[in-house]
Each structure stands twice: as C-alpha cells, then as structure tokens.
C-alpha cells in the first residue's frame, strides 16, 4: 500500500500563515460598474487512517489568541500534520440566462446594501447557499486573495469587482451542508492532490460565436462557428472525496437520452467529450474564473507549479491552432522560463502603488491591486500578459490565408470550367 505524501499539509500551514500576515488591498469599483461580489475559498484537513480529528477549542478557538497563534496550534497537531488538505467547491444550479449556470464555483455571491463589507457578503452568501457558518468557533478567516475586476469578453465591459476570501475549517466532522436548491446543485470536497494532478488536466469547448459578438441571428452565429470553430480552454476534472447533492433538485438523477442498445453504448464510450451519464448538470469540471483563483492560491505552495495547471486557450480548427502556436511560440517559451513558484507577497520588493487591474471572464487574466508592498501578480496574468495580442494576429493571418487560398482555387476552378465550355478551334 502506497503511503501519501503529507508534506503538502505543512506547506499549506506556512502558506496560510503568510497569507494572514499579508492582506491584499481593497480596490474600488471602476466607473460605470457598481456590482461587487465575494466568494469563500474554504479549506479543511481530512485525517488519514487511523487518525481521528479533534477540535481543541482552548488552543484553536477564538479565545486562543491571534489568527497566527490559532493557525500554529492547529497545524501543530499530529492528525493535521498527517492529514489530507481539501477545498470545498459548489456546482451552481442550472438556471436559464445565468452567465455561470451549472459552473463549478466557490460559495458566495453579490454584495447587498446591508452588508458592511465584502467579507460580510461572503459569510452571508455561504450561509445562505450551503448552510455553513463561517463565523463559528472552528472557522478562521485567514485572509484574502487579490480583488479583481471581472470584465466581459476581451476586457470590453466591467461586470463586477470579485473579492475572494480564504477560510480554514478546523473540524471535518461538522453538521451536514444544507444546499439552497435555486442556487446550488451540489457541494464537493476535493483534495489538493487532485487539483495538482496532471492526470486530471483536460479542456472544455466553449462556443466562439458568443465571444466575438452578441447576435440573435442564428445565421451569424452559425457562420462564426463555421469560420472559427470553438475555443479550447484548460480545465480540471474534479474527483471529490465527499459530495452532497441537493435532494430537491430536478436534475439529481440522470435524464435525457440514454444508450438503448449495446452498439450505441459502445459509441457513447468512444465519443470524445461525452460520458455514459450524459446529464451536463452532473459533470464536475473546474475551469474559468474559479480555476484562475485556485491557481493563484496554489501558487503559494512551493510544490505547486502554476504552469502545470495552465494551458493557453486556442481554437479548435487545426489551422488556427498551428498559427496561434507559431505566433506565440517565443512568447510562451519566455513566460514559462519566467514562472517562479512560491513568490508570496512578502518575497517581493517594495514598489510604487498603481491602480486595480482587470480579469476577463473567459481569459481570466488578473492584474493585481498593489499597496506599499508589491504583491505578486496572478499566475494567470504572467502566462497571458501579451498572449491574446499575438493570438489575434495569428487568427487574422489565418483568416487572410484562408481567403487567399479560397480565392485562388475559386479562380482556378472558374478558368477550368470556362476552358471546358469554350469551343475548340
């Protein structure tokens, strides 16, 4: 039986201590954008056999001292040191018209006028969505990750300011989660080992017709798909250690078409991107905005390489793939060489303050806010800084090449047709 490497728990303890000492600064909403939202990245340590968890309120409770003292006492316990760290994700309920319908996400939501601050919004939304009380004695608000402005496709329109907060749940034997059926389909605890496993890396296909412009014309949308194909975006297939499903959800059980014959079941198994369980609400795929936040957090762990969690988006058509690969080759090679794991805020030199950055809801590029300390740039920003400018040039070049080749063969075909129809002398 292979023993699990428990060194990641020690890394997590040091990273959380560092995060609690170095807060990311608050950023204001950009002009024309009033919405703010907050999410909770909740961590726990599950004990490994034969250990059992225990919560010592005298050492780890609210009266035990500062957050740093409570964290030190918690990670000093043997069952924690030999445990397996996990992160809580939710799968949002399927709702028509929702930009993030059925997505994997962190608990959280929009800030209401009665919320005193963004942290209060994350605590309230988590309580409403999954029934978890983040103000309980066994929970610590460790700190926050960088606030970011979420924008529409390619950064054209700001949608909201997103504020991620990190919490540590010091008990794993808490009361069962209570999921709000209109908001949450299911909740899943996922090991950090699974989030960093290269064997679970994958891609999702996103409809490109909605990326280049919003059009209600089926003809325009179909033509866009025909010309550009689909966007391939990096994702991670989640393997939960514990899951809770909303029993009042309509899509709790499989529905829709199923394999009715042996031959159709074999074809279903061989079809790429499909599974025998075809209900999309049951798929657990981490990507997009949540993957970007998770990558920024995992970068704090020395053993995690953010470049292994990331792949540059591209298009599904092979000629676009090749041109994008060619146009961005030097840039990607340079960025991979520049990536240095574990660059925490305190490891950076002091720099001048600058304004907030933006994160694209599809490219997930983040420019961190800065204070007197020069806080690390997002791992995704460092990978994507100038990638899209080069990718757009590659797409434009390939489109011109297609038009040129298509025009040449069209003209050649017309000449051949005319020569065959013209009478021979």
| pLDDT given at position 237 | 92
Report the DSSP pairing between strands 139-144 and 158-169: antiparallel
| pLDDT given at position 302 | 82
Q: Which phi and psi angles does 85 have, rounded to 5°?
A: -65, 140
Q: Which phi and psi angles does 387 have, rounded to 5°?
A: -65, -45
What is the rounded CA–CA span in Å between residue 357 and residue 367? 4
**pLDDT one-digit tens code per residue, 236-263:** 999 999 999 987 766 666 665 555 555 6
Question: Is the pLDDT reported for residue 100 higher than 80?
Answer: no
Contact 26, 111 (CB under 8 A): no
* Mean local confidence (pLDDT), 153-164: 78
Coarse DSSP helix, strand, coil percentages of the chain, rounded to the nearest 5 percent: 40, 20, 40
**pLDDT one-digit tens code per residue, 172-184:** 878 889 999 999 9
* Mean local confidence (pLDDT), 365-388: 50
Q: What is the 3-state secondary structure (H, E, C) of 307-348?
A: HHCCCCCEECCHHHHHHHHHHCHHHHHHHHHHCCCCCCHHHC
Question: Is the pLDDT reported for residue 107 higher than 50?
Answer: yes
**Of 84-88, 220-224, 328-332, where does mean pLDDT reach its minimum?**
220-224
* Mean local confidence (pLDDT), 273-288: 60
Question: Is the pLDDT reported for residue 309 higher than 90?
Answer: no
83, two tokens: 């445990």
Contact 163, 37 (CB under 8 A): yes
* Mean local confidence (pLDDT), 354-367: 40
| pLDDT given at position 69 | 92
Name which residue leads in pLDDT, 304 or 291. Answer: 291
* Mean local confidence (pLDDT), 311-337: 87
pTM equals: 0.79
| pLDDT given at position 206 | 80
Report the DSSP pairing between strands 104-105 and 83-92: antiparallel
**pLDDT one-digit tens code per residue, 49-69:** 888 888 888 889 888 888 899
* Mean local confidence (pLDDT), 2-25: 83
Name which residue leads in pLDDT, 365 or 336. Answer: 336
**pLDDT one-digit tens code per residue, 14-45:** 999 999 998 888 888 888 888 999 999 999 99
DSSP 206: E
**Of 129-133, 268-272, 309-313, where does mean pLDDT reach its minimum?**
268-272
| pLDDT given at position 220 | 75
What is the rounded CA–CA span in Å between residue 301 and residue 7? 10
Question: Is the pLDDT reported for residue 208 higher than 50?
Answer: yes
Confidence of residue 423 (pLDDT cuts 50, 70, 90): low
What is the rounded CA–CA span in Å between residue 36 and residue 109? 9
Tell whether omega for the bond before 50 is within 30 degrees of 0, i.e. cis.
yes
Question: Is the pLDDT reported for residue 128 higher than 70?
Answer: yes
Which residue from 404, 212, 300 is spatially nearest to 11, judged by alpha carbons?
300
Distances (CA, A) of 357 to 109, 158, 288: 21, 11, 17
DSSP calls for 216-243: --HHHHHHHHHHH-EEEEEEEE--EEEE
| pLDDT given at position 15 | 93
CB-facing half-sphere around the CA of 222: CA atoms within 13 A: 3
């Amino acid at each position: 039986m292979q023993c699990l490497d428990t060194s990641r728990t020690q890394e997590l303890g040091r990273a959380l201590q560092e995060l609690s000492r170095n807060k990311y600064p608050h950023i204001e909403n950009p002009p024309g954008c009033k919405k703010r939202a907050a999410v909770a990245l909740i961590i726990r340590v599950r004990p490994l056999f034969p250990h059992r968890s225990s919560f010592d309120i005298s050492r780890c409770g609210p009266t035990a001292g500062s957050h740093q003292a409570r964290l030190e006492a918690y990670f000093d316990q043997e069952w924690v040191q030999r445990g397996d760290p996990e992160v809580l994700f939710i799968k949002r309920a399927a709702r028509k018209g929702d930009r993030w319908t059925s997505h994997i996400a962190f608990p959280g939501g929009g800030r209401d006028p009665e919320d005193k601050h963004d942290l209060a919004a994350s605590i309230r939304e988590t309580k409403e969505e999954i029934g978890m009380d983040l103000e309980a004695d066994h929970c610590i608000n460790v700190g926050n990750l960088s606030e970011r402005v979420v924008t529409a496709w390619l950064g054209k329109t700001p949608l909201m300011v997103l504020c991620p907060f990190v919490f540590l749940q010091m008990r794993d034997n808490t009361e069962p989660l209570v999921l709000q059926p209109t908001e949450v389909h299911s909740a899943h605890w996922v090991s950090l080992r699974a989030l960093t496993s290269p064997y679970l890396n994958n891609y999702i296909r996103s409809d490109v017709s909605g990326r280049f412009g919003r059009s209600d014309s089926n003809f325009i949308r179909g033509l866009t798909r025909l010309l550009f194909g689909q966007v391939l975006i990096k994702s991670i297939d989640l393997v939960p250690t514990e899951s809770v499903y909303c029993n009042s959800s309509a899509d709790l059980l499989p529905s829709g078409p199923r394999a009715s014959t042996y031959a159709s079941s074999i074809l279903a198994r061989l079809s790429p991107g499909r599974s025998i369980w075809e209900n999309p609400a049951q798929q657990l795929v981490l990507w997009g905005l949540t993957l970007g936040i998770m990558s920024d957090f995992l970068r704090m762990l020395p053993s995690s390489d953010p470049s292994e969690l990331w792949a540059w988006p591209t298009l599904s058509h092979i000629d676009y793939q090749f041109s994008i690969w060619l146009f961005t080759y030097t840039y990607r090679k340079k960025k991979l060489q520049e990536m240095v794991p574990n660059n925490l805020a305190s490891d950076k030199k002091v720099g001048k303050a600058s304004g907030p950055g933006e994160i694209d809801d599809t490219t997930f590029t983040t420019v961190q806010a800065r204070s007197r300390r020069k806080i690390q740039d997002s791992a995704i920003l460092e990978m994507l800084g100038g990638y899209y400018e080069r990718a757009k040039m590659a797409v434009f070049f390939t489109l011109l090449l297609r038009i040129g080749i298509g025009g040449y063969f069209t003209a050649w075909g017309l000449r051949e047709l005319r020569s065959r129809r013209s009478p021979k002398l």
